[in-house]
């Protein structure tokens, strides 16, 4: 009879000692793991109609990498295609591909680590192919701050804004665009 009573006492003491430790665990993000950010936002898109102009556009994309502590290092791929066939015979198309390595850094965190002010910096390199002309090399960047809310240790929602630039270098010409962008993002760490 004494053995079952002993087990009950050990179980109660273990629960009492474990409860404060469980209550003090951080509710912030998972510290390490594969990170995937899916975003939807605005940016300036260059188009050439008798001269280069910038056109505001809403687009989406992703950023994949690895999160360790306050840092997430990774990259994104951007691809876009536009085609034009005004006379059903003179087809013209433009394809653009950019690889953008980047970093996200949590600068400030709330006491419970659920809300962060973070910075992002991406630099991209790629190419634009135009069906009836020479293609262009593309250099792009985006940098800016954001606010992120970790509503679960593995999932967060964020809003960011900043400056984005794209520079196109053709064999005999070049032009560039710089503008503000704003993005809503959802991040998962696994």
Pairing of strands 155-169, 32-48: unpaired
Report if residue 72 sits inside a domain. yes
Q: Is residue 22 part of a domain?
A: no
Q: Is position 1 within any domain?
A: no
Is residue 21 pLDDT above 60, yes or no?
Answer: no
Residue 173 lies in a domain: yes
pLDDT at 184 exceeding the cut of 90: yes
pLDDT tens per residue across span 59-98: 888 999 999 999 999 999 888 887 777 776 667 788 888 9
pLDDT band of residue 109 (cuts 50, 70, 90) is very high
Number of domains in the chain: 1
* Boundaries of domain holding 40: 30-189
In a domain, 7, yes or no: no
Residue 5 lies in a domain: no
- Beta-strand ranges (E) seen in the chain are 32-48, 52-68, 71-84, 92-109, 115-130, 136-152, 155-169, 174-189
Q: Does any domain span residue 20?
A: no
CATH number of the domain enclosing 34: 2.40.160.20
Res 176: pLDDT: 83
Distance CA 96, CA 139 (A): 11
**CB-based contact 163:140 (threshold 8 Å):** no
pLDDT digits (tens, 9 = 90+) for 27-49: 678 999 999 999 998 876 666 65
Q: How confident is the model at residue 17 (pLDDT cuts 50, 70, 90)?
A: low
Which of 128, 116, 120 is closest to 166 using CA atoms?
A: 128
**What average pLDDT does the chain have?**
83
19 belongs to a structural domain:
no
Confidence band, pLDDT 50/70/90 cuts, at residue 58: confident
Is the pTM higher than 0.85? no
């Amino acid at each position: 009879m004494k053995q079952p009573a002993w087990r009950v006492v050990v179980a109660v003491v273990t629960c009492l000692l474990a409860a404060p430790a469980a209550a003090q665990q951080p509710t912030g993000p998972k510290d390490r793991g594969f990170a995937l950010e899916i975003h939807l936002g605005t940016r300036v898109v260059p188009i050439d109609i008798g001269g280069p102009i910038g056109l505001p556009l809403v687009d989406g994309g992703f950023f994949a990498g690895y999160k360790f502590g306050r840092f997430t290092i990774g990259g994104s791929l951007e691809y876009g295609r536009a085609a034009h066939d005004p006379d059903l015979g003179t087809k013209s198309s433009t394809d653009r591909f950019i690889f953008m390595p980047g970093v996200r850094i949590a600068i400030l965190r709330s006491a419970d680590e659920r809300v962060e002010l973070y910075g992002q910096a991406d630099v991209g390199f790629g190419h634009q192919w135009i069906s009836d002309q020479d293609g262009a090399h593309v250099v792009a960047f985006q940098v800016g701050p954001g606010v992120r809310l970790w509503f679960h240790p593995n999932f967060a929602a964020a809003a960011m804004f900043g400056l984005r630039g794209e520079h196109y270098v053709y064999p005999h010409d070049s032009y560039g665009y710089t503008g503000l962008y704003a993005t809503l993002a959802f991040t998962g760490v696994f």
